Chains A and B, each alone.
Chain A
Amino acid sequence: MKYTLIVYGAPYSSQAAHSALRFARALPGLGHTVATVFFYHDGVYNASTLITPPQDEPHLNQAWAELKTTQGCELLVCVAAALKRGVMNDAEARRHGGEVHNLGEPFELTGVGQLLASAQSSDRTVTFAP
């Protein structure tokens, strides 16, 4: 089955991101795949390339990138939730007169409409909240 996962939890503040990753990593062994991970609300902080945890702690930003490499899933970030929290890509930073950005490949800024499209084309949608 194809899965869409929705992540509401900020990295290191709650177990949500860890639970979602644990769930996603278990899918292939059971014949399933994760098609889309959608980061919403405080979950958008998972997409910040500036995340720098101590070396003996899980690097959540890299873990999501590895998930895309191994399972080919999309990593979609709600643009409205991200911009107001200071998470943005180069194009959005320029558009708003900023000089720095902290989001790039493999994460993509998208709208909530993309979440609905993903949920509709997936067999299952599971939410991981803080």
Chain B
Amino acid sequence: MTLHILNRSAFSSATPDDALRATVPGDALVLVEDGVYCALDARWCASLPLDVAVYALSEDLEARGLGARTDARVQTVTVDGFVELTATHSQSISWF
């Protein structure tokens, strides 16, 4: 299982779409830095595979004033939760 780490906004980059196409069932994806803007993009969120868990880093959401505005498909995690995701997945890919 792979953890995909994404730091680009779907509003300004094609990288979030590329990342989704590279996922396989059981993978997880965590939105960090400007990647948290993806959690507000209805088009991108509608294309999320159902068998991929999606998280957004709460510290980066808060820093951008987006705390309560995430799509229902996106769960929030703290930095500690992000660390644990890297520990529970055998490898990670950073998309940028």
Binding site for B on A (CB under 8 A): 1, 3, 8, 14-15, 19, 22-23, 26-27, 29-30, 32, 124-130
Q: Which residues of B contact A126 (CB under 8 A)?
A: 5, 86, 92, 94
**B83 CB–A CB distance under 8 Å:** yes
Tell me whether B27 is interfacial, beta carbon within 8 Å. no
Interface size, chain B (Cβ < 8 Å):
17
**B1: chain A residues within 8 A (beta carbon):** none
CA distance A3 to B92 in the complex (A): 12
Residues of chain B touching chain A, judged by Cβ–Cβ distance below 8 Å, are 5, 7, 32-34, 59, 79-80, 82-84, 86-87, 91-92, 94, 96
- Give the secondary structure class of B's interface: helix
Interface core residue of B7, B79, B83 (most chain A CB under 10 Å):
B83
Contact A27 B83 (CB under 8 A): yes
- Centre residue among B34, B59, B79 by max chain A CB count within 10 A: B79
Whether A29 and B94, one on each chain, are in contact in the complex, defined by CB atoms closer than 8 angstroms, is: no
8 A-B pairs whose Cβ atoms sit less than 8 Å apart in the complex: A3-B86, A15-B7, A23-B82, A29-B80, A32-B83, A32-B87, A124-B87, A126-B92
Q: Tell me, in angstroms, the Cα distance from A71 to B59 when the chains sit together.
A: 23
Q: Considering the chains assembled together, what is the distance between the CA atoms of A127 and B80 in angstroms?
A: 17
A30-B83, A32-B83, A129-B7 as given contacts; A19 in contact with B92, CB under 8 Å? no
Tell me whether chain A's interface is mostly helix, strand or loop, or mixed: mixed
Find the A residue at minimum CB distance from B80: A26
Whole-angstrom distance between the Cβ of A102 and the nearest chain B Cβ: 27
Contact B96 A26 (CB under 8 A): no
CB distance from B64 to the nearest CB of A (A): 11
**Chain B residue nearest in CB terms to A9:** B96
- What 7 pairs between A and B have smallest CB-CB spacing? A129-B96, A127-B94, A15-B33, A26-B79, A26-B83, A129-B94, A30-B83
Q: Which residues of B sit under 8 angstroms from A23, Cβ to Cβ?
A: 79, 82-83
Complexed CA–CA distance, A30 and B88 (Å): 12
